[in-house]
Chain A
């Protein structure tokens, strides 16, 4: 297999790969931002006093976590048109990724907040800090310190999950590999190049994760 490995075809397809690499990056970045927003809201609802809100968020989180992303993706891809919503594929893909990762982020944020001993909040109240000040100076710095690793871990999962978007024919890294496979019948060249690009993102995020653990001030929270 390796004797016939064709680097020239990879070079020839490099512009396509770079373009798809960028597509993967921005599709993931967009979904990541959306997921953190959705996750924060879902977490706030889950922890709220209102039983309705809490239950709604619970249903959302549990049903996302108990079903595969691919089924959710197809649910939106085939389901939204039958509701009369004709969206471009990439919008459907970003919606599915956002809602999927949002549920996991809600759980990560909740674990971070609940890990802070209630005594600290009481001490904050007793010291006369306002709700905002308690959040800003006591809860969030510690919660962030505890959740930064799982958050980056979920970001890695999100980037990898974005490969499923190729199955609804969105142009991104995995799709580039599929194209090289179907155009030239060179699956080895196609998918190994794709894998290398994903590894680049993975090692960058992993490096950032261990850097943040060592360097950031709020590590004392552990």
Chain B
């Protein structure tokens, strides 16, 4: 019986690869959008404006304080009530981008604040404009603190993307869920699902660890 199901599973491998592609598409799009939005908001959050800072802080708390599944449901089910009709795919990308942006914003703000204030003062004294300070003095140094957790955040993003299967996006997890209805061997089917996620996440985790070691070494040399 086991052998028969294994054969069936091999036959549905193309279906799994389609799911893999969907997972990559959802998390890739949100990764790019979330990084851009997160960097902009993080720079604002680390800057002087108190009102903007606390607004962003409240938004981050809202996103961090509620489960991603609930956020997905809110965006997918409630926005149509406000007149914004969304398909499952864009709803998933919006929810995941929102999540990624909130976490990346905190990472970026933390990295910028970790740069010694003497650097900024020296830049101001040298007559650099605010943009030049950010571009040539602050960000290059902050990147050392930002990069390892940022890559770690990408791993979380890929894993969190599995939750959007709940609204019917046919990603790897959803493919597994659909397949297990036909091939009732849960360990085998979700073992395969796990291997596919592992193939994406494990290299990323190692990259994050590598960057962490690398950046610490560079940091002590300076």
Contacts and interface: CB of A to CB of B under 8 A. Distances in A.
Interface stretch (B7-15, B36-44, B70-78): B70-78
A217 interface: no
B65 A198 contact: yes
B186 A75 contact: yes
A41 interface: no
A67 to B, nearest CB: 5
Given A66-B202, A68-B173, A198-B66, A192 B74 contact: yes
Given A78-B189, A79-B191, 12 more contacts: A71-B162, A71-B176, A71-B194, A71-B197, A164-B69, A174-B69, A174-B70, A181-B77, A202-B64, A202-B65, A203-B65, A206-B65
B187 A1 contact: no
B89 interface: no
Interface residues of A, number: 44
Given A71-B176, A79-B187, A79-B190, A199 B198 contact: no
B201 interface: yes
Interface string A59-97: 000110111111110111111111100000000000000
B97 interface: no
B150 to A, nearest CB: 17
Interface of B: 61-62, 64-70, 73-74, 77-78, 81-82, 155, 158-163, 165-166, 172-173, 176-177, 180, 184-187, 189-191, 193-194, 197-198, 201-202, 205
| Chain A interface, DSSP helix/strand/loop, else mixed | helix
A195 B81 CA distance: 18
Contact of B198 (A67, A160, A195): A67
A105 interface: no
A21 interface: no
B177 A67 contact: no
Nearest to A194: B70
Contact of B67 (A77, A82, A163, A178): A163
Given A161-B67, A164-B69, A71 B81 contact: no
Interface in A146-196: 156, 160-164, 166-167, 174, 177-178, 181, 187-188, 191-192, 194-195
A178 B77 CA distance: 10
Interface of A: 1, 62-63, 65-72, 74-83, 156, 160-164, 166-167, 174, 177-178, 181, 187-188, 191-192, 194-195, 198-199, 202-203, 206
Contacts of A194: 70
A177 B73 contact: yes
Given A74-B177, A78-B180, A164-B69, A188 B159 contact: no
B190 A75 contact: yes
A188 B186 CA distance: 34
Contacts of A74: 173, 176-177, 180, 186, 190, 193
B78 A1 contact: yes
